[in-house]
Structure 1
Amino acid sequence: MQEHKILGGEEWCAFEGLGIPAIKARVDSGAKTSSIQANNIKVIYRNAVEYVQFEVNPLQDSRSITLHCEARLVDRRMVKSSLGIAEERLVVATKIRLGADIFETELTLAKRDTMEYRMLLGRSALSDRYLIDPARSFTQGDLEQEELDRLYASFKPERTGLKIALLASNPELYSNKRIVEAAEARGHEIVFLNVELAYMKLDAQAPQIRYRGGNILNEFDAVIPRIKPSVTFYGCALIRQFDNLGVYCLNTAESISQSRDKLFASQLFSRNDINIPITGFAKSPNDTKDLIKMVNGAPLIIKLLESTQGKGVVLAETNKAAESVINAFKSVQTNILVQEFIKEANGQDIRCFVVNGKVVASMQRQAEKGEFRSNLHQGGKASRIKITPEERRLAIKAAKVLNLTVAGVDIIRSNKGPLLLEVNSSPGLEGIEKATGKDIADSMIRCIEKKLKYNPEPVATV
């Protein structure tokens, strides 16, 4: 009886025929065929035989190295992604080195930069060869960072790019990690700055921004602001200071402030002929009944002016309930908006991601059964959607009205046509990148390059 080797939950592989000296793989017995992250996939013919040319970013959490690969095409298969979406993938054949073993295997090419691991090792490659102990890792040999650096030293591009600051609060958020990854992949230096650890010197002759310990921040070409709502005032003050120092800001302080003020933003939209759900605002609780009637009565939406990500948003299903909620808010001097409820939307809305006047990705969000809010962090489900030309124009115009270079524009479909819900100046990337497969972080970095008229040198590849 053949003795099987033991594999852990993750292992290092190599594909010498593809020019990949090392790639970390998750051992996934639930997947029949192994898969590898691939971009710019192209089928070519050589002597009447089909081959596939593609690019691989082999290092996890990094796109600073791009390898050009080519392999024989052996099949086209429908594969379900981790989101449950079926898609056609190309299948190539190549030799894999796993520890001391070298054998032929098949790989499906997965067109997703958002894979946690750059490679999944499926059961067809493991059958009759290995047993799996998921509690262990790298049973066939681990690679220290020093060895990994040596293997990829000749592929690393020289840093001749821009110096960019990412002004945010949490470096571990998916969106912030993806932006850092995309900037480094384009050959730029990017530094994470915590909003609350920066401070300013206001002086006509020598204005400054300093950071934790007195470091003067005076070398940045651009700033990407991702300001959480609780620090909007201070974050916008920092952005204005960067602007005073001649640093390009992807979104301006004014545009962020306007987007966060839901009442002012709604007034701007109305003034610019952008259709929104009928909205009411009043100070006196004496006018509550007429306020409710003005937005076509219950059911209706009540939202705090400073609400974000669906928080501070209430559905009042009857006029009596609406009166109670409105009067309760007003009794504590809290500003609210009252908005008509679009029943025919069935808990669905559309998020359009706009970068530099173009919709680069769109997804549909569906609320959980019994819920009316479709926010992903509250249980909503996301899927790719093809928007109409009218919806595209609406998203672009809404971002333009607020002067936002980067914006998440939320639209709802109604019997009256598409209506604008709101515009987010720091939209998250995770849900929409995973739902659409689009590299939005890269679009943001390319936008900065275009604004600064930066012509990058070719990135080192193999």
Structure 2
Amino acid sequence: MELSKLSIIGSEEWCQFEELGIPAIKARVDSGAKTSSIQANGIKIFSKGAQEWVKFEVSPLQDNRSINLVCEAKLVDRRTVKSSSGISEERLVIKTPVTIGKHNFEIELTLANRDAMEFRMLLGREALNQRFVVNPAETYCLGTISSELVTQKYARYIKEKTGLKIALLASNPELYSNKRLIEASVARGHEIVFLNVEHSYMKLDAYSPEIRYRGGNILNEFDAIIPRIKPSVTFYGCALIRQFDHLGVYCLNSAEAISQSRDKLFASQLFSKNDIHIPITGFAKSPMDTKDLIRMVNGAPLIIKLLESTQGKGVVLAETNKAAESVINAFKSVQTNILVQEFIKEANGQDIRCFVVNGRVVASIQRQAEKGEFRANIHQGGTASVIKITPEEKKLAVKAAKVLNLAVAGVDIIRSNKGPLLLEVNSSPGLEGIENATGKDIANAMIMAIEKKLKFHG
């Protein structure tokens, strides 16, 4: 066909799918892709007569999960498609009429998860061929749709919503922190549900992945998850968080970030790599290296901690080299992984807990160990008081949370003759001690962080 008879199409255009019930969806025009594709979730294949059909959900507007259209179409093919990152996957293919400006024609669409993409649809060269010439410098050559008109077109699909639907994924609803988060959510007009980690289970499937709760209830309506996973269920809890993330639910802390923070050796390596100062730390496998390991961290007194210790448990002070050798070799004899760390004597049993939310220190306290104890931990009888931290300490806390990619973190810092040192980062920090000491509403700050991420305006 002569070029003069082809319509000019821009790099972005509005499309309409009458048979699918999609009144307007913005498409990226991509001549590099052969087949067009559309965002689809909850894909299910079913039979209609002797033919295979497919039911799927489309959220046609970016950053708006409240509009979710259920579509049905006849399944015409299954194809292996290679993504821009080089990964091949099988996709289902449907055929349906599309309207772009004054043009109406049948188009093949692959069903793809495009949640992370800027555009919910991709218009490939099969749709362009013999119809359009692409002008990549222009957009909406075939007609634009104002935001007011888009709102009108989707008015009947918009559910009246006063708040977000949030799930608190934890183990004990009676804990102070969990009660406060539920209170703060309700106070801000959101619906919140407590989900016991161990009562949740999942279905892994390319077309219709699910999370279910005790009794078979399908969990598919949450906007956000607040994970507060106790150490003993870290593996399973992180698997659930990954599944929620796969289903398009925002998780306040990701599974990867939680896993990294719980592995004290890996976290220490990340801190060291990113020029974050920590007490000198040693790790070894063989008992033959114990003496040199002790020398490496400047000798006794020194700290010995289990790799997965929490709330001060599994942390031992060895006051002499001989005692240190005995404890280290005892742990190694039962195949337990430990870190050996220098003891900062000048800290006098004090440390600083900084509570970081979305890259900002929202509160900080100084914790003092109980008399005769070396580690300041409120769970073990320590006391807390308000403290004004230095800009250097604030910068250290924010950077530590960022290195682990944690939106919410309890960052523990110790003051030494060398300056502030990072002790560890907690991905499920408790609220009781720091809220009571500072009088600050940290639970509210966490809920506001979710609102900001989801662009919710109550």
Shorter chain as denominator, the TM-score bin is: 0.5 to 0.7
Cα contact 1:159–1:187 (8 A) shared by 2: no
Counterpart CA distance in 1 for 2:213 and 2:162 is 24
Q: Structure 1 residues 159 and 171, CA, compared in 2 at 3 Å: closer, same or farther?
A: farther
Q: Does 1:399 align with 2:401?
A: yes
Aligned equivalent of 2:355: 353
Structure-1 residue corresponding to 2:412:
410
Instruction: Deviation per CA, 1:433-462: give whole Å up to 9, x if none.
Output: 000001000000000000000011xxxxxx
What is residue 368 of structure 1 aligned with on the other side? 370
C-alpha offsets along residues 354-404 of structure 1, whole Å, 9 cap, x if unaligned? 000000000000001111011101010000000000000000000000000
In 1, Cα distance between equivalents of 2:337 and 2:287: 11
Q: What's the CA shift string for 1:291-321, capped at 9, x where partnerless?
A: 0000000000000001111101000000000
Distance 2:411 2:381 in 1: 20
Q: What corresponds to 1:428 in structure 2?
A: 430
Q: Output the CA distance in 2 between the equivalents of 1:454 and 1:204.
A: 30
Aligned to 2:221: 219
What letter corresponds to residue 264 of structure 1 in structure 2? F
SS in 2 for 1:360: strand
The equivalent residue for 2:119 is: none
Which residue of the partner structure matches residue 82 of structure 2? Answer: none
Structure 2 counterpart SS, 1:243: helix
Matches within 5 A, 1:274-353: 274-353=276-355
Q: Report the AA paired with residue 436 of structure 1.
A: T
Matched residue of 1:327: which SS?
helix
Q: Does 1:180 align with 2:182?
A: yes
Match of 1:127 in 2: none
The 2-side partners of 1:368 and 1:449 are apart by 39
Given candidates 192, 195, 198, the residue that maps to 2:197 is 195
Letter paired with 1:336: I
What is the alpha-carbon distance in structure 1 between the residues aligned to residue 251 and residue 450 of structure 2? 9
- Distance in 1 separating the partners of 2:439 and 2:446: 15
2:164 aligned partner:
162
Letter in 2 for 1:243: D
SS of 1:296's equivalent in the other structure is: coil
Letter in 1 for 2:383: K
Q: How does 1:87-126 map to 2 (within 5 A)?
A: none
Matched AA of 2:186: E
- Relative to 1, partners in 2 of residues 1:159 and 1:384: Cα closer, same or farther, differing over 3 Å? farther
Helix, strand or coil: the match of 2:208? coil
Q: In the aligned structure 1, how far is the partner of 2:301 from the partner of 2:385?
A: 27
Q: Distance in 2 between matches of 1:381 and 1:412?
A: 15
Q: 1:251 aligns with which of 250, 253, 256?
A: 253
Separation in structure 2 between the aligned mates of residue 185 and residue 257 of structure 1, nearest angstrom: 31
CA contact (8 A) 1:355 1:406 kept: yes
1:205 to 207, 213, 230: 207
Q: What is the identity, as a one-letter code, of the residue corresponding to 2:222?
A: F
CA distance in 2, matches of 1:169, 1:337: 28
2:309 is paired with a residue whose SS is coil
Q: Give 1:204's aligned amino acid.
A: A
Compare relative contact order (CA 8 Å, sep 6+) and give the higher one, 1 or 2: 1
* Alignment deviations for residues 209-252 of structure 1 (CA, whole Å, 9 cap, x no partner): 00010000000000000000000000000000000000000000
Residue deviations 1:78-127 (CA, integer Å, cap 9, x gap)? xxxxxxxxxxxxxxxxxxxxxxxxxxxxxxxxxxxxxxxxxxxxxxxxxx
The one-letter code of the counterpart of 1:263 is L
Kept in 2: contact 1:406–1:444 (CA 8 A)? yes
The question of 1:441 aligning with 2:443 is answered yes
Quote how far apart the aligned CAs of 1:159 are. Answer: 6.8
Distance 1:318 1:159 in 2: 63
The aligned residue for residue 6 of structure 1 is none
Whether the 8 Å CA contact 1:407–1:423 is kept in 2: the answer is yes
For residues 377 and 339 of structure 1, the distance between their equivalents in structure 2, rounded to whole angstroms, comes to 22
| In 2, Cα distance between equivalents of 1:176 and 1:369 | 30
Q: How many residues get paired?
A: 299
> What stretches of structure 1 move > 2 A for 4+ residues in a row?
none
Shift in Å at residue 257 of structure 1? 0.1
Gaps of 5+ in 2: 1-159
RMSD across aligned positions (CA): 0.8
Instruction: Name the CA distance, whole Å, in 2 between partners of 1:160 and 1:212.
Output: 28
Structure 1 unmatched ranges of 5 or more: 1-157, 457-462
Q: Could you tell me which amino acid in structure 2 is paired with residue 297 of structure 1?
A: G
Please state whether the residue corresponding to 1:312 is helix, strand or coil.
Answer: strand
SS at match of 1:306: strand
- 1:429 and 1:291 mapped to 2: Cα distance? 36
Shift of the alpha carbon at 1:206? 0.2
Q: How does 1:40-79 map to 2 (within 5 A)?
A: none
Cα deviation code 1:326-373 (max 9, x no counterpart)? 000001111000000000000000000000000000000000111101
Partner of 2:181, secondary structure, is helix
Aligned counterpart, 1:153: none
Q: Which of 418, 421, 432 lines up with 1:419 in the alignment?
A: 421
1:106 aligns with: none
TM-score (norm 1): 0.64
- With structure 2 as the length reference, what TM-score do the two structures score? 0.65
Aligned to 2:21: none
- Distance, in Å, in 2 between the alignment partners of 1:424 and 1:378 is 16
Matches of 1:159 and 1:319, distance apart in 2: 63
Q: Which amino acid aligns with 1:341?
A: F
